[in-house]
Structure 1
């Protein structure tokens, strides 16, 4: 159900109509203006080298440029995620919008939303990407969109203030230029990475800072230039890695790898497991020494690490031990029960902290939209909120209700 089947028909107009219907069915598109924009813009014109089956797949990205190692550094984002972010942005006719991270297609969607009286500027640090976006926009008839070559970290002050700023690469921080470039009633939609976990967050101006009640699961290629994240990553063995951007977290690679060779211990919370994206955000921000544990399919198939680590799972680490989330079927907790797998001499202590958070989340915060996310620019205040993460340009503070 995540792909559009184009085997019976390869007419891009028909595929686009199918895509829009599927995006509506999955609640990615919830408004008529966004539906009209997706219907109007010929997505395939922005990826002429790609097969239609890929271009019109709801959940797959389209590669645009790779680095010397063959890793994607620029992609056309999945249609589902683009729709979600545009719904978060709530772009109105006549608005002035800045897009940070060019590809062309998303800028064309925004141009449809702002109409002839509005303005769209799209900026990228990569000359190849800007030139490609310009060609595709002109080819599809969106010559009104302005393309700019610059580091997105600095924004485009010449066109400010903007009613909306939409960032289409994973950002580790929110630079002052983005807040300064927003209108007083403006909105910033950004895939913000906090402790290795990324969410598309719709921030509104809140005094000198930003506040949000809208956050959605998102995966993006990372920002380049000055906004590049400085994450630490350690390979414990082939197919197993841990990563974090928290300098306080100990990474004793040899000891953590040895811990995986010790018997696994399972601990069960008696608490319901569901809404994994909400739970993941809560755990990432509340664990005292957080990292993300990644494991390959071969490692999971061997039984060494649980399948929860395939896309990265919040882990609690010490110098010589590691604990992470798992689940099992349990009708008494509504279908599934949260649990913890732990390895190493501190397994029980780590599991105890982890279990307390699993129970607290299930008891008090088990619903969508329970978090309020704020960004406080400038130096950290003397009294930090309970759940806060220091960034270069400010503090991310999160509370749950």
Structure 2
């Protein structure tokens, strides 16, 4: 992207052209159809209060609405992520597409992809968001997009079946409505959160199940309404928190906080640290008692917790101990070596389990796309598949190859 110094004189079309070139350079856009859509839709008209350099930045979100605590509950997603998800969706002219989570801009991109013969429906639970999306769409000339005020958990049955369903909020589960409203050859693209980590997954039908065609790192505001997640969170001390969505994980905040006051022990795997998003997914699904550890910059700077926790790091916890991933420079392992920091009386045992997983991943699965993610609708059976996580509406099962 060009320097911000000339932001007051550059035309929006120039910003837009630069954005498209940058998205192609970063392989977020790989098809001519998606490139043409991004080149056509005036992104700044869906972010009228944002400077052009913010509206057309590849990796910045644009806040749309906050809750009473000042937290974002609706944003215009980063252009890079929107491009990745539209490439995952592989939308063709004439298709019927349902978008769950309205902002306006993404629906306009989809309208460009389906053309005048296609149909785009976007649904949101928040009237303010729907009204804003409708206003922006009309102002930008995308009056063919249908906007619906409803809980996205139920989909929009009146327009079904859909060739594509694209979810633009972090979903903790896949409700039956999304599957039933998806055509037989349809595709669901959803940022699915499993054990605190979110991936944009392109699911195709496989009989009664859904199976992943691709997955990419994603970060979204969480879904509201019936589909909201049921995570357990605890503040251990100022600037340090843990969270988990697995009811089977012990969660004793006072004891875990006390563990942080015990001696810090480091253990090193001798295995390469690489592709952190792939490693994070593997750890989150394979740790026997997983949570996510978060720490503020002040806590990290104090030396109490490693920098890996700034954006959340997979942790292995017991009633009174905690272990989590770190790294150090090591040319013998290709630049960095993965390791474990452990606290508490059971720290060494937790570290041993963690190290085995780090070594297994580095030896057998250290590449992109090594996971296959399957969603099995319906009640969880008493004997769950290995590396599976029960949800309200089904089971997420992951295998590595």
Give the TM-score, by structure 2 length: 0.98
Q: Does 1:51 align with 2:47?
A: no
- Aligned residue in 2 for 1:226: 226
Contact 1:325 1:340 in 2 (8 A): yes
Cα distance in 1, alignment partners of residues 388 and 296 from structure 2: 31
- Aligned residue in 2 for 1:96: 96
Cα distance in 2, alignment partners of residues 176 and 355 from structure 1: 38
Contact 1:204 1:210 in 2 (8 A): yes
**Where do 1:124-135 residues align within 5 Å?**
124-135=124-135
- Aligned residue in 1 for 2:159: 159
Match of 2:6, SS state, is coil
Match of 1:325, SS state, is strand
Cα distance in 1, alignment partners of residues 82 and 111 from structure 2: 14
| Structure 2 unaligned regions, length at least 5 | none
Cα distance in 2, alignment partners of residues 357 and 254 from structure 1: 28
- Aligned residue in 2 for 1:8: 6
> Per-residue CA shift, 1:317-372, capped at 9, x if unaligned?
00110000000111111111110000011110000000000000011100000000
> Per-residue CA shift, 1:168-209, capped at 9, x if unaligned?
000000000000000000000000000110000000011111
- Aligned residue in 2 for 1:261: 261
Summarize the Cα distance change of 1:343–1:4 in structure 2 as closer, same or farther, 3 Å threshold: farther
- Aligned residue in 2 for 1:326: 326
> Per-residue CA shift, 1:240-290, capped at 9, x if unaligned?
000000111111111111111111100000001100000000000000000
**Where do 1:2-401 residues align within 5 Å?**
5-9=3-7, 10-401=10-401
Match of 1:122, SS state, is strand
Contact 1:291 1:315 in 2 (8 A): yes
RMSD (Å), alpha carbons: 0.8
Summarize the Cα distance change of 1:95–1:70 in structure 2 as closer, same or farther, 3 Å threshold: same
Match of 1:268, SS state, is strand
Cα distance in 2, alignment partners of residues 245 and 254 from structure 1: 19
| Structure 1 unaligned regions, length at least 5 | none
Give the TM-score, by structure 1 length: 0.98
Cα distance in 2, alignment partners of residues 129 and 397 from structure 1: 34
Contact 2:204 2:213 in 1 (8 A): no
Cα distance in 2, alignment partners of residues 189 and 381 from structure 1: 26
Aligned-residue offset at 1:380:
1.6
Cα distance in 2, alignment partners of residues 5 and 113 from structure 1: 30
> Per-residue CA shift, 1:26-85, capped at 9, x if unaligned?
111111100100000000000101111111111110000011111100000000000000
Cα distance in 1, alignment partners of residues 381 and 204 from structure 2: 21
Match of 2:134, SS state, is helix
Aligned-residue offset at 1:4:
5.4
Contact 1:64 1:76 in 2 (8 A): yes
Match of 1:131, SS state, is helix
